[in-house]
Amino acid sequence: MSDDQNNTTTIPLLSWAGLYAGGIVVFFLSISIANVLNAPIISIAVYFAIGFTLNRIILRRLSWHPLYNTISGVSKAKLGSFFLWPISYLILLFHLTVNKIL
């Protein structure tokens, strides 16, 4: 096991929702700035930067089920969350909220 798996510090669910909402706000701001400057590469770079940041902050602190804690399973989840972060993190936050409530 690596040291990353032994680091079990948790972030409250409300903080995760705040990080996600902040990412959405920053992304829409970058779209506005890109439209003003006529440089769509700005919004694309910000999109991937936010996906990378959310992966590093949120997915690193999740505990993976032993069945899915394989290179294939974790890389598939992380790549999907990186490329489709607005949808995947919304679904993840919904699942974590339901899990916490029930």
Domain ranges of the chain: 3-101
Q: Which of 5, 3, 1 shows the shortest CA–CA distance to 62?
A: 5
In this predicted model, what pLDDT tens digit does every residue of 32-52 receive, in sequence order?
999 999 999 999 999 999 999
- Mean pLDDT (the chain) is 86
What does the pLDDT average to over 63-68? 77
Q: What is the CB-side half-sphere exposure of residue 30 using CA atoms within 13 A?
A: 17
pLDDT, residue 70, reads 86
